[in-house]
Each structure stands twice: as structure tokens, then as C-alpha cells.
């Protein structure tokens, strides 16, 4: 475990809360201090930390790796930020993008064409962990003259994303 400033601050907060609670039970300061010191790690790791993880949308970030991207599509959201920030795809051809990301999951609809647009590819990024997350993240890769001009993400309700993916699979 890496000791960070955030960890120390949260441990101090939990210690103070535990000490205040135990102090209502027994007024002996030395006993209150010892009990609070012993209980703090347990309360932090079994109550406080899980609650923070449930209600925050924090997730681990990873550097983009083609093998991981293709092998674990449900964890692509961990690599998407690096992929966008590094601008790795900008200027790449469709063949180079297929080499890096694999085949697209589906094509976007274009109202002007009244059909699917071969220049706008979608890749499902999976679902970010969180208690109230009802959306699935999608990576949108846009081409112009067979070169990537933009890479962005957007969110789509999970059920709607599943319908689009099934429709794309059925047409193949």
C-alpha cells in the first residue's frame, strides 16, 4: 500500500470520528485513545473506503495497450483517457486503427446519408464502476479522407447501447 496525503487525511478524519464516538461511551482519555487507534484501520478499510468507492466514479487509469484493448473490451474505459490525451490515433488510416483497436463495434448513423456512416466508428468502452452509473461509455473515432481527425467519448444509456450493438451484430 502506498501512503499518500489523501490516505493520511482520511485516516485522521476517521480516527477523530471514532475517537468522538468512543468518547461518548467512556470518558477515560487514555482508554478512548487506545480503542480509537485500534478501531480506526478496521473502520477505514471495512466501512469508509468501500463507501467512498461505491459513491465515487473513480477508476484506475491505464496506458493504452493494443493487446489489453482487444482482450478485455469491458475494461477499455481504463485506457480511453490515455488514448485520447496522447492523440495516438490522430492522422492514422483506417487500416492502422484496425491494427491498434481491432474492428469497430458499430458505425454511427448519418441522417444526411440516411444510413450508417463508414467514417464514424464506435467502440464500446465498458461500464465505469459506480453505484448510480446508468450509462455506457463509447469511443467515437471520426475519419476524413481515410485519416483520423478526432477521437472523443460520449455516454449512452446501457440498454440503448446494447440494442445498437445487437442490431450491428445482426446485420453482419
Predicted confidence (pLDDT) per residue in 24-76, tens digit? 998 899 999 999 999 999 999 999 888 887 777 666 778 888 898 999 888 88
d(CA 73, CA 58): 19
- Asked if residues 109 and 167 have their Cβ atoms less than 8 Å apart, the reply is no
The reported pLDDT for the residue numbered 171 is 58
- 170 falls in which pLDDT band (50, 70, 90)? low
pLDDT over 90, % of the chain:
45
13 and 34 in contact (C-beta within 8 Å)? no
Q: How far is it, in rounded angstroms, from Cα 84 to Cα 105?
A: 18
Residue 162 clears pLDDT 70, i.e. is over it: no
pTM of this prediction exceeds 0.95: no
Proportion of the chain above pLDDT 70, given as a percent: 89
Amino acid at each position: 500500500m502506498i501512503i499518500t496525503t489523501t490516505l493520511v487525511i482520511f485516516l485522521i478524519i476517521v480516527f477523530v470520528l471514532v475517537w468522538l464516538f468512543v468518547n461518548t461511551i467512556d470518558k477515560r482519555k487514555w482508554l478512548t485513545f487506545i480503542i480509537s487507534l485500534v478501531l480506526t484501520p478496521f473502520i477505514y478499510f471495512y466501512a469508509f473506503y468501500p463507501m467512498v468507492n461505491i459513491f465515487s466514479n473513480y477508476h484506475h487509469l491505464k496506458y493504452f495497450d493494443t493487446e489489453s484493448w482487444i482482450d478485455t473490451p469491458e475494461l477499455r474505459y481504463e485506457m480511453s483517457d490515455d488514448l485520447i490525451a496522447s492523440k495516438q490515433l490522430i492522422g492514422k488510416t483506417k487500416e492502422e486503427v484496425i491494427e491498434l483497436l481491432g474492428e469497430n463495434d458499430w458505425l454511427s448513423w448519418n441522417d444526411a446519408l440516411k444510413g450508417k456512416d463508414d467514417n464514424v466508428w464506435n467502440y464500446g468502452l465498458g461500464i465505469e464502476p459506480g453505484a448510480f452509473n446508468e450509462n455506457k461509455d463509447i469511443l467515437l473515432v471520426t475519419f476524413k479522407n481515410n485519416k483520423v481527425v478526432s477521437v472523443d467519448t460520449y455516454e449512452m444509456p446501457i440498454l440503448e447501447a446494447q440494442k445498437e450493438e445487437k442490431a450491428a451484430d445482426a446485420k453482419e
